[in-house]
């Protein structure tokens, strides 16, 4: 859980699901360079939020974190699994990497694992950092043949 004294950038890095709540309360700057140097409370005060509003933001953010914590890990449809397995086999690499792009995600194959990544076994080895993994919690990844691209849907 988070506290109003926590660093704003670290909170967004560790719990990306709270970003819409920060924006809702007027903290559109959560990803700016200043966020690395201030607490949630400092950012709120800089945007004229009062103590009650700050407490409400923290309460909503913690509820969102708790909700995400209860979601299942991401999964693949048979089509997506098959496409990624094929991509991996054709590349002669060890891993599929899932990485963020433009508010979404993409895949590539690799033999490298970065220090901030973990390895998951999902029928093949995946390298992913915890922020991206958290972003994908509760998501089923599919592959659309017509668009020749992957998509994601929340598992309800």
Q: What per-residue confidence (pLDDT) applies to 104?
A: 80
Q: What per-residue confidence (pLDDT) applies to 128?
A: 97
Q: What per-residue confidence (pLDDT) applies to 34?
A: 62
Contact 132, 99 (CB under 8 A): yes
Q: What per-residue confidence (pLDDT) applies to 142?
A: 95
Q: What per-residue confidence (pLDDT) applies to 72?
A: 93
The token duo for 148 is 């020749």
Q: Where are the alpha helices (DSSP H) in the chain?
A: 8-14, 19-24, 40-46, 51-70, 78-91, 130-135
Which stretches of the chain drop beneath a pLDDT of 50? Answer: none
Q: What per-residue confidence (pLDDT) applies to 31?
A: 61
Q: What per-residue confidence (pLDDT) applies to 33?
A: 64
């Amino acid at each position: 859980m988070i506290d109003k004294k926590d660093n704003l950038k670290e909170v967004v890095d560790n719990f990306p699901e709270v970003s819409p709540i920060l924006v809702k309360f007027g903290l559109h700057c959560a990803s700016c360079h200043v966020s690395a140097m201030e607490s949630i409370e400092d950012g709120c005060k800089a945007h004229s939020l009062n103590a009650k509003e700050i407490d409400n933001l923290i309460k909503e953010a913690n509820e969102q974190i708790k909700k995400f914590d209860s979601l299942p890990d991401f999964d693949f449809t048979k089509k997506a699994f098959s496409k990624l397995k094929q991509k991996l086999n054709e590349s002669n690499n060890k891993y599929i990497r899932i990485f963020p792009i433009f508010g979404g995600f993409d895949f590539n194959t690799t033999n490298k694992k970065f220090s901030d990544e973990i390895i998951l076994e999902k029928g093949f080895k995946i390298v992913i950092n915890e922020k991206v993994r958290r972003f994908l919690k509760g998501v089923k990844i599919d592959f659309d043949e017509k668009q020749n691209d992957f998509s994601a849907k929340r598992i309800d």
